[in-house]
Amino acid sequence: MIVTAVSDHRAATFDQQELVQKLAAPNDAEIASLDAWWRANNYLTVGQIYLQGNPLLREKLTSEHIKPRLLGHWGTSPGLSLIYAHVSRLIKQTGQQAIYLAGPGHGGPALVAAGYLEGTYSEVYPKVGLDEGGMLQLFRQFSSPGGIPSHVSVTTPGSIHEGGELGYVLVHAFGAVMDNPDLLAIAVVGDGEAETGPLEGSWKGVSFLNPAHDGAVLPILHLNGAKIAGPTVLARKDPAEVRKLFEGHGYDVLEVEGEDLPGMHHRFAAVLAEAWGKIRSIQTAARGGQWDGTRPNWPLIIMRTPKGWTGPEKIDGIKVTGTWRSHQVPLSGVKGNDAHMAELEKWLRSYKPEELFDATGAPVAQIMDLNPPGELRMSATPHANGGLLTRDLDMPDFRDYAIDVKVPAQGRAESTRKLGELMRDIYTRNPDRFRLFCPDETNSNRLGAVFEVSDRGFMESVNDEDVKISNTGRVMEVLSEHNCHGWLEGYNLTGRHGMFATYEAFAMVSASQTVQHGKWLQEAAHLPWRAKVPSLNILLTSTAWRNDHNGFSHQGPGLIQVVLQQRGDVARVYLPPDANTLLSVADHCFRSRSYVNLIVIDKQPQLQWLTMDQAIEHCTRGAGIWEWAGNDDGQRDPDIVLACAGDVVTMETVAAAQILREKLPQMKVRVVNVVNLMTLPRPKDHPHGMAETMFRELFTDHVDVVFAFHGYPGAIHQLVHGRPDADRFRVRGFIEEGTTTTPFDMTVRNKASRYHLVMDAINNAKRLPAGASELKAWCEAKLAKHEQYVVEHLEDMPEVRDWSLGDWAEH
């Protein structure tokens, strides 16, 4: 499928220098072809913003040809198109596999136009043909209800990068080329986007990129000077300072500037050739054994062209091109303004559409000749439709990593260690398509078994005291949630598998990336031509419930809440209570496609509940009654249901049930554990939602449910809405610390929540046997004793700390 590119070692023997020289000096015919392609792309861009009729300007432009609402972003578009044209020429001459990521994604019409000129758009959307009717369709659909968004988006062939929320173009590009040695990612960074934190934090991708087993990213910083309403920092700094900045980031800085034509075509061709030559030299050396192992200085191009280049210089006497005024729609109020109408027509005709499109409206041969063949077209590269390239992971049998659980809750183990062992063997079996991404916490998260088979990847210098870190490592640790998350997205969207493991509280740092990636997957599901990609797997450890010593900043189960808002066809939330359920869940997630899988489990030693067979059955159902923990013996009518989702709260719930069984045996208690949170909503609200019959089997339809939840209580309130008598769900969950606790709150500073749960059960039970009020008093006393003990001994009292099911006895 993939055309063999020059990165093949054997191909490196041809005279690269000669090819670079040829690339650097296009002849007149090539310049004419480049310029025609670029003018056509600019024409199609302006057309998308303004026109709903008369697409080829076969008649004089009038009001009825103008869209009722003018939307879109012109300013960045001509620069994006110029780059595209020149990269296409490079691809055609070299066979280089390339993918184009438009950081200034607002320049959507430029990339849509490029896909159209390459023919890909019509292949994917047959209604948008390469003729006059298709062109009109192309124009009308842009930024219209039921049409396409104004950005480079999931609907844009060739894109793996939604350009709406700025900041992620480099992380996506670096992720795309990891373990993808033949791929070159052209990553255009807008100078507006360059101001965002995530983008500034992503230049350092080069400190993690191995020139032998990874591909290359060519960042093109497009300084057109302005954002929506004013200048940008980088555009207004002394250029010498800007150069230093990027040299400081580790790049070999190449600069190109101007607006003269064809001068800029010549200069851009030269600088692109130079950059490509440097990239190929780095790769050839690294792959040919001539590399000293130090981080290469990869090239970066700084391109300075006027914002809105080729658009109207002035409008109503005010300068537009080269200023922020060209950011969106330079000519507004066209309908009913003859001067503006004339100006727009002049602008459109300046590209000479009659030379660019033939009588049928198809691009002329001079334009089509620039396009690379087939899948080398950047709009058609399978790397940007990574599902096409996705190969299943070669998975070991997760049951081989099982903890041998003879009796529930006898021993403690660090559950995530087992996941680490599973991932170790996934690494071994899949040396080119699996990576773990983690902000410096792989060992801390007990996933360190992966280091038995792979170092951390790092291209800066290492020394003798460093452990498991080298330039060939493929475990990715960088203290940036944005980088980790974004790299994995890029890796996923190009068809490879992985996991992002991070601190629960700090998962909110990259929450917007989780949201946006989920949206991408949701939209992609509607496009038949987009093949499903590996799921985004997020593991949250160091959970809220274990961070009382770290304090409030480290406690926050917010990401669960964020994922819950995503659509059911994408969002998955799992709360495995022990190692065997974690293994079963992880196996499922690694095999799945196009989901956001959120797995929450603590890394500390914890009680183990289920045998592997039980775990598999439990995870398959997603929720179930733990008969051995309760005493209702399958009765349809327990006095209370104690439900739980999450590891620590499961322990507290089982402990509470144990207390009730021992102290108040006449009371019938049922324990329900939920491992797949999405079984709780109704089937119409989520595809995993359990059928109402099963819901009634677990929770009855009238007995009160005391629900101990890992996250914010509101999540459960929201999930059971619409279930039979949802008001009977009394949720204890994580609450922010404070003075005004409500009756059903449970705070992480008090691990002895079991006593609260017992009191809740008594307070809400249908029938109360004798001894209930005495038991409540007993619980109150325990809580008081525990609080006092903790202050004195700085840890939980032993009967809480060391509790296990079998050892429980009267204290």
Q: Which of 103, 109, 158, 167 binds a second copy (CB under 8 A)?
A: 167
Name the segment binding a second copy (CB under 8 A); options: 3-11, 371-379, 543-551, 658-666. 543-551
Binding footprint of a second copy, residue count (CB under 8 A): 139
Judged by beta carbon, residue 414 or residue 481, the one nearer a second copy is 481
Name the segment binding a second copy (CB under 8 A); options: 12-20, 96-104, 245-253, 331-339. 245-253
Q: Does 528 sit near a second copy (CB under 8 A)?
A: no
Least distance CB 213 / a second copy (angstroms) = 20
Helix 772-793 / helix 647-663 crossing angle, nearest 10 deg: 130
Residue numbers 672-701 binding a second copy by CB under 8 A = 684-685, 687
| Total Cβ atoms within 10 A of residue 87 | 23
Residue numbers 113-152 binding a second copy by CB under 8 A = 140, 143-146, 148-151
Q: Which of 364, 388, 395, 726 binds a second copy (CB under 8 A)?
A: 726
Q: If you write DSSP's letter for every residue of 759-784 in order, what string do you get?
A: HHHHHH-SS--TTHHHHHHHHHHHHH
x-or-dash pattern for a second copy, window 379-418, by CB under 8 A?
----------------------------------------
The answer to whether 438 touches 484, Cβ cutoff 8 Å, is yes
**3 state SS of 247:** helix
Whether the bond between 211 and the residue before it is cis, its omega within 30 degrees of 0, is no
Name the segment binding a second copy (CB under 8 A); options: 159-167, 415-423, 572-580, 692-700. 159-167
Judged by beta carbon, residue 136 or residue 585, the one nearer a second copy is 136
CA-based nearest residue to 37, from 116, 139, 102 = 116
Judged by beta carbon, residue 202 or residue 416, the one nearer a second copy is 202
Residue numbers 567-606 binding a second copy by CB under 8 A = 567-569
- The residues, ordered by sequence, that sit 6+ positions from 72 with a Cβ below 8 Å of its Cβ are 48, 49, 108, 109, 142, 143, 150, 328, 329
Least distance CB 288 / a second copy (angstroms) = 25
CA-based nearest residue to 600, from 614, 615, 585 = 585
Alpha carbon of 589 to those of 39, 384, 499, 583, 629: distances in Å?
A: 47, 22, 10, 10, 28
Q: Does 470 sit near a second copy (CB under 8 A)?
A: no
Q: Does 165 sit near a second copy (CB under 8 A)?
A: yes
Least distance CB 597 / a second copy (angstroms) = 17
Q: Does 794 sit near a second copy (CB under 8 A)?
A: yes
**3 state SS of 34:** helix
Q: Does 200 sit near a second copy (CB under 8 A)?
A: yes
Please give the distance of CA 381 from its chain centroid, rounded to a whole number.
20
Q: Does 456 sit near a second copy (CB under 8 A)?
A: yes
Q: Tokens for 161? A: 């990068």
Percent composition of the chain: helix, strand, coil (DSSP 3-state, to 5):
45, 15, 45
Q: Which of 250, 306, 382, 577 binds a second copy (CB under 8 A)?
A: 250
Judged by beta carbon, residue 313 or residue 617, the one nearer a second copy is 313
Least distance CB 149 / a second copy (angstroms) = 2
Q: Which of 92, 621, 717, 776 binds a second copy (CB under 8 A)?
A: 717
Q: Does 228 sit near a second copy (CB under 8 A)?
A: yes
Q: Measure the CA–CA gap between 798 and 615, rounded to whole angstroms.
A: 29
Q: Which long-range contacts (CB under 8 A, 24 or more apart) does 556-559 make?
A: 556/504, 556/505, 556/508, 556/734, 557/504, 557/600, 557/710, 557/711, 557/712, 557/734, 558/505, 558/507, 558/508, 558/511, 558/712, 559/504, 559/507, 559/508, 559/511, 559/514, 559/598
Name the segment binding a second copy (CB under 8 A); options: 111-119, 242-250, 384-392, 658-666. 242-250
Q: Is 205 left (phi over 0), alpha (psi -120 to 50) or beta?
A: alpha
Judged by beta carbon, residue 558 or residue 769, the one nearer a second copy is 558
Q: Measure the CA–CA gap between 640 and 763, rounded to whole angstroms.
A: 10
Q: Which of 93, 444, 592, 611 binds a second copy (CB under 8 A)?
A: 444
Q: Measure the CA–CA gap between 395 and 429, rounded to whole angstroms.
A: 7
Q: Does 201 sit near a second copy (CB under 8 A)?
A: yes
Q: Does 71 sit near a second copy (CB under 8 A)?
A: yes
Least distance CB 173 / a second copy (angstroms) = 15
**Which amino acid, residue 70?**
L
Q: Does 47 sit near a second copy (CB under 8 A)?
A: no
The answer to whether 686 touches 706, Cβ cutoff 8 Å, is no
The answer to whether 589 touches 537, Cβ cutoff 8 Å, is yes
Q: Does 785 sit near a second copy (CB under 8 A)?
A: no
Q: Measure the CA–CA gap between 644 and 746, rounded to whole angstroms.
A: 13
Q: Which of 738, 777, 806, 807 binds a second copy (CB under 8 A)?
A: 738
Least distance CB 12 / a second copy (angstroms) = 28
Q: Which of 10, 126, 229, 693 binds a second copy (CB under 8 A)?
A: 229
The answer to whether 116 touches 344, Cβ cutoff 8 Å, is no
- Tracing tokens 């493929």 back to the chain, one arrives at 474
Q: Does 525 sit near a second copy (CB under 8 A)?
A: yes
CA dihedral 78, 82, 83, 89 (to 10 degrees): 150
Q: Does 718 sit near a second copy (CB under 8 A)?
A: yes
Least distance CB 526 / a second copy (angstroms) = 7
Q: Which of 166, 176, 582, 585 binds a second copy (CB under 8 A)?
A: 166
Q: Phi first, then psi: give them for residue 226, nearest 5 degrees.
A: -145, 160
Q: Which of 16, 52, 281, 592 binds a second copy (CB under 8 A)?
A: 52
Name the segment binding a second copy (CB under 8 A); options: 266-274, 459-467, 590-598, 641-649. 459-467
Name the segment binding a second copy (CB under 8 A); options: 13-21, 229-237, 281-289, 360-368. 229-237
